[in-house]
Structure 1
Amino acid sequence: MTAPSIAPTALLPVVGAHARVPLVDGGETRYTNLDYAASAPALAAVAGHVGEVLAHYASVHRGAGYLSRVCTALYEDARAAVSAFVGARPDDVVVFTRNTTDAFGLLASAAPVEAVLLDIEHHANLLPWQRRGDRVVTAEPTIAATLEALEAELIRRPAALVTVTGASNVTGERLPLDVLAALAHRHGARLAVDGAQLAPHRPIDLAATGVDYLAFSGHKLYAPYGAGVLVGRRDWLDAAEPYLAGGGAVREVTVERTAWAPAPARHEAGTPNVVGVAALARACRELAALAPGALEAHERHLRDRLVDGLADLCIAPLRIWSDSVDAVGLVAFTVAGVPAGKVAAYLSAEHGIGVRDGRFCAHPLLDRLGVPAAVRVSFGVGSTTEDVDRLLSALSSLSEQGPRWGYADDGAGWAPVPETRRLPDWLGGALLTGDQRPCEEPG
């Protein structure tokens, strides 16, 4: 098979690719978005589709009006699009949620069994299980040893659900899902996967890998309109108490009792996010239409270019496992002698480059890696080699010359002093202010 060609340009057009942003010295430049892992920009095709949907927007389910029937068909068709995108089994159920965090909240409320997870998880796949008192296994220095530790824990004390990240939101490293699924099934357990950082970067096939549940977010999949999804085995979701009690989740209601509908309606009470669901489905279809291997080759080119450039600056990416051989389009690192927040503020204020800094809602993982905070660079279908080169040039200038502006941490995060950049006129035009929260990356 001929390898996909690698171009320095974007694979798919995204909204905001040519946005101009102010610099602290009074100039302006094209915004370089290297923060895809937090929230990816909307695909141009998704934004266009949303415009079409809004012209036909109406309530869904049980509406007799034409537009209501159109939106009902749109909403249910989206389930088919998501199902096909992740290779779901014919009897799997697709439940629409707000985001990955919401999807894991649903799964944790529905799972009638104890769960086992790793200590490297994003908080979305840690806190729901922690609240239930489920077990956490410490990831070992290699993937092979980590799998052995998980199996040893299942042998020591059986559990019926293993729930892990598909790709780390801190390092981008991937776990072998087919091996994990086989391991879990060998001990009578199911496997749930946090696909928030996997779905935008790699094909997923639930049927082929044996993964039982998958959660991911539209805002990380180029559809930032407030929808997420949980896909997986129906039985637990049909038997569980409704995630949210209300209209749409019922078959029949009297003042004494309620007969609940099966999943997915059982867990989708209230008026659903039709626009967000339509956007998510369109993003799935756009990514699925890419040539096989094209996205992986595009990201590998960008990641290799970035890692090689960082090495020239004596900067090493953070890693969990010494034997990992594949990672998606994100790299986290620290710069010696410069706080991560200051690096991010410098890149933004002096170069118009957007990255992420902090602990990425993965506090236990950052603690075990021994860094209080890091800088994370992430990219995707709208990224180019020029984006990576601009970052490397800016980091080189920081190393050789230092920042040209003053910076201070005022408790709300690092910011230039004085701050000269203003919000857009349509947002009032006031000076920018900091707003760093303890958890820097909601799922």
Structure 2
Amino acid sequence: MTTLATSVLDVERIRTDFPILSRELPGGRPLIYLDSGNSSQKPLQVIDAMRDHLAHHYGNVGRALHVLGSESTEAYEGARDKVAAFIGAPSRDEVVFTKNASEALNLVAYAFGNPAGEDDRFRMGPGDEIVISEMEHHSNIVPWQLLARRTGATLRWFPVTDEGRLDLSGIDDLITERTKIVSIAHQSNVLGTVNPVAEVLARARQAGALMMLDASQSVPHRVTDVAALGVDFVAFTGHKMVGPSGIGVLWGRRELLEAMPPFLGGGEMIEAVWMDHSTYAPVPHKFEAGTPPIVEAVGLGAAVDYLTSVGMDEIQRHEHDLTVYGLEALQEFPGLRMIGPSTADDRGGTLSFTIPGVHPHDVGQILDDRFGIAVRVGHHCARPLHLRFGIPATTRASIYLYNTTEEIDALVRGLHHVQKVFG
């Protein structure tokens, strides 16, 4: 097995920031958390920031003139500033807070074919097409299915190669002048594949189509600059990037956000209301109806501060090294089938696999019960991808900044035990 050089990260120090990682499970088992692709753990810096806001500063935002209201609004909008800087957004007003990435994706899908919209770029009907891919999370499939059903448009998709890469061989026939939007994952939540955004975007631009990225699995793990990516919309979520659940982000080019109709109606998204019509607040508040996730935004801002202090380049290098190590370790395991690229090139630290004769649910149960190893099992909200590979489910180990080679070694030992149990 490859011996890696000492990581640029002080992982042992980082681990002390995450109190749950020192937890002892029933039976004296130490926790080995390899499920960050599902949801990451939270550092004290995020926990403390949220607790402090609740304890000392909480008030509703944008409404009250008293001190608490002002402090809460400042913290909420300050989080927007931090997120904008973190993803290289040209303007803070291009950052819309949602409750998760799913809502962000639905928000954009809702804009198409909406009678309230007046921009031709969002007109959708029979003869128009939507392009996604076979590797998408359900959150980037179902909203587009609903859009196609609502408008009569056609949903099309990139196939996936045996190696787990987007099959671009038919891109010119797939993305055409009929395509209104292309929406794909920046990084697959099952395969780990980092998709060739520039190549897909170039074809989308030739065809006059808009492009969206589901970046839920990339923003937490690598430097993400939305301006450099050049796409029109990016969605991601807080709970996968050491932040809290209940908050996500939609980034969109300002002129597109301004052209889109509101997604939800209610307080704070309005400019003025009469009994028969309303006018709307400027972006981003046009898309943030009602009391927003205030404390969650504070937590997300603290998560951005934390990741920035560690260094996204260093996190990416650390995870790359662990991915190389994990791929080699798992590929040496007898009979194991890796679902996804076999090398770490253009790949993140998501390791999905099957073991002959053992259902992934049994793998996950034994790893947890016997060794305290938390992995995810199932189709990971990507059932069409599993159907493409002819399997019902996989076991997925997903790596983050606080993981170590020793934990990967423990996973391999646990898998040997699973294999022994099932003989």
Q: TM-score category by the smaller chain?
A: 0.7 to 0.9
Q: Distance in 2 between matches of 1:71 and 1:322?
A: 47
Call closer, same or farther: CA 1:251–1:167 in 2, change over 3 Å.
same
Structure 1 residue 248 corresponds to structure 2 residue 268: yes
Aligned to 1:192: 212
| Aligned partner of residue 16 in structure 1, secondary structure | helix
Question: Considering only aligned residues, what root-mean-square deviation do their CA atoms show, in Å?
Answer: 2.3
TM-score by length of 2: 0.88
| Aligned partner of residue 60 in structure 1, secondary structure | coil
Deviations 1:408-428 (A, max 9, x none): xxxxxxxxxxxxxxxxxxxxx
Structure 1 residue 14 corresponds to structure 2 residue 18: yes
Aligned to 1:131: 146
Aligned to 2:151: none
Aligned to 1:37: 37
| Aligned partner of residue 173 in structure 1, secondary structure | coil
The amino acid that maps onto 2:384 is: P
Q: Distance in 2 between matches of 1:338 and 1:91?
A: 49
Task: Give the drift of 1:123.
Answer: 0.6
Structure 1 residue 306 corresponds to structure 2 residue 315: no
| Aligned partner of residue 247 in structure 1, secondary structure | coil
Q: Distance in 2 between matches of 1:323 and 1:153?
A: 28
Structure 1 residue 117 corresponds to structure 2 residue 132: yes
Aligned to 2:339: 318
Aligned to 1:48: 48
The amino acid that maps onto 1:33 is: Y
Deviations 1:150-209 (A, max 9, x none): 332223x43232110011011111012233323322322222100111111111111112
Q: Distance in 2 between matches of 1:73 and 1:204?
A: 25
Q: Distance in 1 between matches of 2:216 and 2:32?
A: 22
Task: Give the drift of 1:44.
Answer: 2.2
Deviations 1:351-396 (A, max 9, x none): 1111100001111100001111110001202212222121111112
The amino acid that maps onto 1:120 is: M
Call closer, same or farther: CA 1:350–1:311 in 2, change over 3 Å.
same
Q: Distance in 1 between matches of 2:225 and 2:86?
A: 8
Aligned to 1:436: none
Picking from 256, 265, 270, the partner of 2:290 is 270
The amino acid that maps onto 2:337 is: A
Picking from 159, 169, 188, the partner of 2:179 is 159
Aligned to 1:201: 221
Call closer, same or farther: CA 1:70–1:212 in 2, change over 3 Å.
same
Task: Give the drift of 1:45.
Answer: 1.4
Call closer, same or farther: CA 1:43–1:182 in 2, change over 3 Å.
farther
How many residue pairs are counted as aligned between the two chains?
396
Q: Distance in 2 between matches of 1:211 and 1:3?
A: 36
Aligned to 1:63: 64
Picking from 8, 23, 30, the partner of 1:5 is 8
The amino acid that maps onto 1:211 is: V
Percentage of matched positions with identical amino acids: 33
Structure 1 residue 344 corresponds to structure 2 residue 364: yes
Picking from 347, 352, 355, the partner of 1:327 is 347
Structure 1, 242-251 or 175-184: larger mean CA deviation: 175-184
| Aligned partner of residue 279 in structure 2, secondary structure | strand
| Aligned partner of residue 35 in structure 1, secondary structure | coil
Aligned to 1:396: 416
Call closer, same or farther: CA 1:10–1:361 in 2, change over 3 Å.
farther
Structure 1, 201-210 or 378-387: larger mean CA deviation: 378-387
